[in-house]
Amino acid sequence: MSTTTRAAKAHPAQAMRTGSKPKRHYGTHIFLTIMAIMWLVPLGWSLFTAMRPVASTNEHGYFSLAGAFNFDNFIQAWNQGGFSTYFLNSIIITVPAVLLTLFFASMMAFAVSRVSWKFNVTLLIMFTAGNLLPPQVLAAPLFEMAKHFEVPYSISDSGNMLNTYIIVIAVNTAFQMGFCTFVLSNYMKALSADLTEAALVDGAGIWRQYKDIIMPLCRPAFAALGTLQVIFIYNDYFWPLLFIQSGNRLPITTAINNLQGQFLNNYNLLAAGAIITVIPTLVIYLLLQRHFVAGLTLGSSKG
C-alpha cells in the first residue's frame, strides 16, 4: 500500500480538504480595498479640484460636477510658483543625497554583517537608534554648527555652510543612513557565507568581496531603498527650510508657498501645485515598482 493511500485512510477529512477549493481571504481583500480607497481619495480629490477653474468652484461649489474642466491651474501654478527653478534645486539635493546614503550605508552594512569583529553589533544598534531621535531635537545644534563652519566664499556667499546645498545633502545623508544600514545589513546576512569564504580562499580582499560579490547581489535591495530614499528626501520640507534662506535655492516642496495669497488663497491653484510636486515621485515609483516589490520580498524565503 502506498504512502498516499495510507494517509488518505488515516485522515479521510484531510484527504477531502486536499481537493477542495482554496480558502478565500475576504477580510484581507476588504481591508486592502478600504485602505487603497482611503489613500487614493485625497489624491483624486486634489486632481479634481486642480482641474476646475476657481470661478466654477465659487459658482457651483466644491462638491459639484458643473462648470468647466481644464489645465489652466497647472500652467498658472508652474509659472507663478517658479517650479522649474525649484525642481532643479530638488534634483541637486536629492540625487547626491540618495547616492551617498546608499554608498555609505552599504559599506557600513557590509562591515557589520559580513565581517566578524568586536563592535559590529554595537555599531548597528547605534545606527538604528539614531532613527528614533526626532530630527527637530537636533535642529538648533545643527544650525549653529552650520553657522560657525567656515568655508571659502567660492562655495558659499555667506562664508559658512548656511544657504548651501551641501549642508542639506549632508544632513539628509546622515539621517537616512541608519535605516538603510539596518535594511542592507539584514539583507546581506541572508546571503550565503560560502560566497565570501570562497572568495577569501581565492585571495580576494575585503574591498574585492564588497565590490564584486556582495554589491551585485544587493541590487534588488538597492532598488527598493533607492525608491524610498528618493521619496523621503525629495519630499523633505524641514531641513531645506532650516538651512537655506535664499529663495532661488529652495527645493520644490517650498514652491507651494509662492501660490498663497496675502489675504485669500486660491485652493484650486494650490491643488494644482501639489499635484505638480507629486508627479516626479509618482513616476519614479511606477518605473521602479517591479524592483521595489522584488527588493521588499526577496529574502523573505531565505533561511
Q: What is the pLDDT of residue 219?
A: 86
Q: What global pTM score does this model have?
A: 0.80
Chain segment 57-102, per-residue pLDDT in tens? 888 888 888 878 889 999 998 988 888 889 999 999 999 999 999 9
Q: Residues 240, 77: contact at Cβ < 8 Å?
A: no
Beta carbons of 259 and 270 less than 8 angstroms apart = yes
pLDDT at 245: 81
Q: Per-residue pLDDT for 4 more than 50?
A: no
The pLDDT score that the predictor gives to residue 230 is: 92
Q: Which residue has the cell 563592535?
A: 119
Reported confidence tier of residue 286, pLDDT bands at 50, 70, 90:
confident
Residue 7 in this model has a pLDDT that exceeds 50: no
Q: How many CA atoms does the CB half-sphere of 159 hold within 13 Å?
A: 1
Q: How far apart are CA 254 and CA 237, in angstroms?
A: 7
Q: What is the pLDDT of residue 91?
A: 94
Q: Can you give the pLDDT at residue 173?
A: 94
Domains of the chain from N-terminus onward: 44-60+67-299 (1.10.3720.10)
pLDDT digits (tens, 9 = 90+) for 101-125: 999 999 989 888 887 777 777 878 8
pLDDT of residue 296: 60
